[in-house]
Amino acid sequence: MKLTLAAVQELTGGKLLIGTPESEISGVSTLSEAGSDDAAFLGNEKYFHDFLATRAGVVLVPPGLPQYPEGIALIEVANPSLAFNALVKHFMSVSTAWIPGIHPSAVVDPSAKLDASAVRIGAGAVIEAGACIGSGSDIGPGCVIGASAVVGECCKLHARVVVRERCRLGSHVVVQPGAVIGSDGFGFLMGANGCYEGIDQVGIVEIGDHVDIGANTTIDRARFGRTVIGEGTKIDNLVQIGHNVAIGRHCILVAQSGVAGSTQIGDYVTVAAQVGIAGHLKVGDKATIAAQAGVITHLEGGKVYWGTPASEFMQAKKQYACIRRLPELVKDVRDLKKAAEGQNPSKS
Amino acid sequence: MKLTLAAVQELTGGKLLIGTPESEISGVSTLSEAGSDDAAFLGNEKYFHDFLATRAGVVLVPPGLPQYPEGIALIEVANPSLAFNALVKHFMSVSTAWIPGIHPSAVVDPSAKLDASAVRIGAGAVIEAGACIGSGSDIGPGCVIGASAVVGECCKLHARVVVRERCRLGSHVVVQPGAVIGSDGFGFLMGANGCYEGIDQVGIVEIGDHVDIGANTTIDRARFGRTVIGEGTKIDNLVQIGHNVAIGRHCILVAQSGVAGSTQIGDYVTVAAQVGIAGHLKVGDKATIAAQAGVITHLEGGKVYWGTPASEFMQAKKQYACIRRLPELVKDVRDLKKAAEGQNPSKS
Amino acid sequence: MKLTLAAVQELTGGKLLIGTPESEISGVSTLSEAGSDDAAFLGNEKYFHDFLATRAGVVLVPPGLPQYPEGIALIEVANPSLAFNALVKHFMSVSTAWIPGIHPSAVVDPSAKLDASAVRIGAGAVIEAGACIGSGSDIGPGCVIGASAVVGECCKLHARVVVRERCRLGSHVVVQPGAVIGSDGFGFLMGANGCYEGIDQVGIVEIGDHVDIGANTTIDRARFGRTVIGEGTKIDNLVQIGHNVAIGRHCILVAQSGVAGSTQIGDYVTVAAQVGIAGHLKVGDKATIAAQAGVITHLEGGKVYWGTPASEFMQAKKQYACIRRLPELVKDVRDLKKAAEGQNPSKS
């Protein structure tokens, strides 16, 4: 399992800048924790100080570094983080094998469609009537797959995921523990008796191929029709997706963000952490929304936004800078008023 | 299952503006996805463009529209969203029947009080000692109902809900998957040894009739006494309710909001998404708090609030408008200062 | 189980100001709900009005009160909240006994390490291969403890907690229902084909002794190495901790806060509710971050911060005060401009 630096060079497509090709490493670690048997990487300039002090056996570095630590082997690569992942995969390739089968404690309805020799159903999982589990999929312990729900091929549902009735997951979907897919949308109408009446939520959630969904994230089913998560989109933990939302392909939604009902988000959109997007809005392709923003208008694609209410990033940044100087501004205006009153005593 | 437009008119209490009473529809959909067999509705002017381009078999519309799509049947109703719900209910009325019974994999303590012929307990659910489940209630797969907890009549707990010991739910309560009711309140005191000591949380949560609780929402038990959710209140996903909070009747709390310990919220209060309300505060009846607001003072009832710290809506709106113009204001003040210095060179 | 006021005095280390030592109480309650058999306490001046109107059998009060309710027994203590907790413990000491054993419906892998006579494993819990459960620990119904995970001694995991593979909990750790420990970190790289590729997250989560973790909170495993929660730290509900975060000892993180990847937080740090802390930052010991703040820079220890972007508390408070007066300021500047134009007509 050990790798020579020559082998590391080959695996990562890099160039050995400093060090002997025959030296060996046996694992991976961070710059600050690595010993002489470990590879590490410099992926963010914030860690430059750790880099200069590292005792790693080799460091994967980007081109154009101004300074090196003394006596440390270095391999230059275009993208150190990506290259390092290849090493991680190498050292982790002895992980536990995937063995198909249905755990005796799982409860699988006789009408469920699955090939017991090609799927794994964990302990205590519940597969309800008419649900369909694609080959190669792994349903973790304690998951509940509702009636007539569909899980595609090669999906990985970690422990205690809930997919409610009729919802559909594509193939190669990964869901972290505790996520809920297909909860009822939040819709009520005030009745004449002063009580809210629930609006039936009879639609579904449809999730594309290669989507990832974070731990304890919630995605509501549509009122009717579909709540849609496009192919390749990645959703972090504790995110809330409202009913009838449509999210495009290859988007990123970071932790604790929320998207309210019926909003449409394009492709390649990035939504940073703790962002809120109001309902019935459109966000264009390749828009980026910075953390904690509050979006209450349509957003054109291809731009960066920030603030509450969200505006274009440079504008929001200027506003925040002005806010920092507000106490000074207030004092200036007070002085100007005093001076003006001195000049025009009759006006005051 | 098909409906003529005459039947739709009757079901919705509407008036056929355009179209033939004998035409039939067989389902419901959105304005943009509907075909000639589907009914759709126009409930929000943001969808007016979709309305003009729809190919629906009939559209439920509000009174007073300035323009119609050509050749599309229209039924005028007072509230299109409410009227549409009646159609949804009609087409969904063939849903799966509710069959009472205790799943063989469920674990029901012998001391639990329930009528096995009148409740449904799902696969893998756990009902602990002394818990009481009312008739007509449906406890989903994987739910855990703690010792001496009470679930009223005709409740629907979806999969994997936790109700901890001694907490009490009224009747007709609906809980989405993953919600936690009765977790310990968050209370610690710093000890002389520099370690936090937990304050025992021995109270309960008490939930009124007709309350809805969202997916993965958490409601903490009281330190002592009760955390209370009033009758008819509707709580969305991922909401946090702290210990000893008292929420009134017929309130709305939208996704990812949080209410800190011991705060009291009146009746008919609306709390929009991602709002935070600090502890030990009072919010009056019929107050409305707009999204992402941060409430740190008592709020009088009957008014609308926004911003951090939250103030009255029009005031907050003016403040946000001013913030947008801040860079310009800073420039104006700089110019005024320069001009003043030019006039009073001896003062500078 | 009843206590005389003399006994209450002794239990709390207090001084009977008003009342007869022989009077008895039989329970605890709030100032507003207590009857003549209950003890209550005054821990926050916001409840002074309730104090003056209380009908409690005795009230624990802090020194130096300006006014008393008539005819109510009072015991003065240094810290009423802490003292009251001693009474709560007394009256709750008849709670249900802890009986070790493995519930027949639990699924415990034969290779798991635990002493069945010294632990309790709840109904439907799943203990995977090689997992280790320390003596005195209580694993609630529906919990899933992943392969080779370690739970220390005397831990209390409430219902439906997930601890993923290889993660490690210290001793005396308390985890509320639905929390997820060890979900994959959120890391993706954009591939040349326009699709995100997941970065393997092969590290673990390591949790120190005496840590508390809230309901439905999520803590991501490290990309490699460890995500660390230091000894004695208390985390509330719905909190998100990103991969490779390191949180020090005896910190407080209140509900719905989030800490992004690789950020390092010192000891005795307090993070109030709904705070967001960006990734790759350092927060010094004993820093306090007020609610809803957005932290995007390193923060020095020992200070209080607020706002988005977070700055020192007094500065942020001044800024917020100025924002409230912005509309007035805009008007002042408009007036000054008009006056200046009147004086210098040639310039306009």
Q: What is the DSSP string of C186-208?
A: --EEE-TTS-EEEPP---EEEE-
Residue C98: exposure state from Cβ atoms within 10 A (0-12, 13-18, ≥19): exposed
Q: Tell me whether the omega of the peptide bond preceding residue B327 falls within 30 degrees of 0, making it cis.
A: no
pLDDT score, position A34 = 87
Token pair for A124: 């205590």
pLDDT (tens digit per residue) in A259-291: 999 999 999 999 999 999 999 999 999 999 999
pLDDT (tens digit per residue) in B190-203: 989 999 999 889 89
Neighbours of B189 (CB within 10 A): 12
Distance from CA of C255 to the nearest CA of A (A): 12
Q: Are the CB atoms for B189 and B197 separated by under 8 Å?
A: yes
Q: Find all residues with CB under 8 Å of A328, minimum gap 6, and list them.
A: none
On the question of pLDDT at A93 being above 80, the answer is: no
Residue B198 parent element (H or E): strand B196-198
Query: What sign does the dihedral C338-C340-C344-C348 (CA atoms) show?
Result: negative
Mean pLDDT of C165-188: 97
Q: Which chain A residue's Cα is nearest to C147?
A: A96
Token pair for C181: 């420990």
**Comparison of pLDDT for A85 and A310, the residue scoring more:** A310
pLDDT score, position C253 = 98
Residue C127 parent element (H or E): strand C126-127
All structural domains of chain C = 3-95 (3.40.1390.10), 101-261 (2.160.10.10)
CB of A96 less than 8 A from some CB of C: yes
Share of chain B above pLDDT 70, in %: 97
State whether A107 and B89 contact (CB < 8 Å).
no
* Chain position carrying tokens 């002063």: A194
On the question of pLDDT at A343 being above 80, the answer is: no
Neighbours of A318 (CB within 10 A): 16
pLDDT score, position C1 = 67
The rounded distance, in Å, linking the Cα atoms of A58 and A38 is 7
pTM score, two decimals?
0.87
Residue C222: exposure state from Cβ atoms within 10 A (0-12, 13-18, ≥19): buried
On the question of pLDDT at A110 being above 90, the answer is: yes
Active-site position among C172, C210, C243, C250:
C243
Distance from CA of C322 to the nearest CA of A (A): 6
Distance from CA of C229 to the nearest CA of A (A): 17
Q: What is the mean pLDDT of chain B?
A: 93
Token pair for B302: 């009957």
Tell me, yes or no, if C103 is annotated catalytic.
no
pLDDT score, position B347 = 45
* Chain position carrying tokens 């306009």: C348
pLDDT (tens digit per residue) in B83-103: 998 888 887 764 456 789 999
pLDDT (tens digit per residue) in C64-107: 999 999 999 999 999 999 899 888 888 776 445 678 999 999 99
CB of B230 less than 8 A from some CB of A: no
H-type alpha helices, chain B: 5-12, 48-53, 80-92, 313-324, 326-343
Residue A306, beta-bridge partner list = A311
State whether A200 and B85 contact (CB < 8 Å).
yes
ipTM: 0.85
DSSP letters, C67-99, are ---TT--EEE-S-HHHHHHHHHHHHHTTPPP--
Q: How far apart are the first and last CA of chain B?
A: 85
Axis crossing angle, helix C80-92 with helix C5-12, rounded to the nearest 10: 120
State whether C327 and B319 contact (CB < 8 Å).
yes
* Chain position carrying tokens 């990487």: A41
**Residue A340 pLDDT level (bands cut at 50, 70, 90):** confident
pLDDT (tens digit per residue) in B270-328: 999 999 999 999 999 999 999 999 999 999 999 999 999 999 999 999 999 999 999 99
pLDDT (tens digit per residue) in C112-163: 999 999 999 999 999 999 999 999 999 999 999 999 999 999 999 999 999 9
The rounded distance, in Å, linking the Cα atoms of B235 and B248 is 12
Neighbours of C, requiring at least 3 CB pairs below 8 Å, are: A, B
Q: Are the CB atoms for B74 and B18 separated by under 8 Å?
A: yes
Neighbours of C314 (CB within 10 A): 11
pLDDT score, position B339 = 86
Q: What is the mean pLDDT of chain A?
A: 93
Q: Are the CB atoms for B56 and B34 separated by under 8 Å?
A: yes
Mean pLDDT of C165-175: 97
On the question of pLDDT at A132 being above 80, the answer is: yes
Instruction: Give Rg (Cα) of chain A.
Output: 27
> Which residues of chain C lie closer than 8 angstroms to A160, CB-CB?
142, 144, 160, 162
Distance from CA of B111 to the nearest CA of A (A): 24
Residue C192: exposure state from Cβ atoms within 10 A (0-12, 13-18, ≥19): exposed
Share of chain B above pLDDT 90, in %: 84
Which residue of C232, C234, C273 is in closest CB contact with B258?
C273
On the question of pLDDT at C42 being above 80, the answer is: yes
pLDDT (tens digit per residue) in B202-237: 899 999 999 999 999 999 999 988 999 999 999 999
CA distances from A2 to A5, A27, A86 (A): 10, 8, 14
CA neighbours within 13 Å on the CB side: how many for C168?
13
pLDDT score, position B224 = 84
State whether B326 and A311 contact (CB < 8 Å).
no
**Highest-pLDDT range among A38-47, B75-84, C41-50, C254-263:** C254-263
Using alpha carbons only, what angle is made at residue A259 by residues A143 and B231, rounded to the nearest 5 degrees? 75
Token pair for B181: 């009711």
Neighbours of B109 (CB within 10 A): 15
CA distances from C185 to B61, B219, C217 (A): 47, 27, 14
On the question of pLDDT at C205 being above 50, the answer is: yes
pLDDT score, position A342 = 77
Which residue of B144, B258, B339 is in closest CB contact with C340?
B339
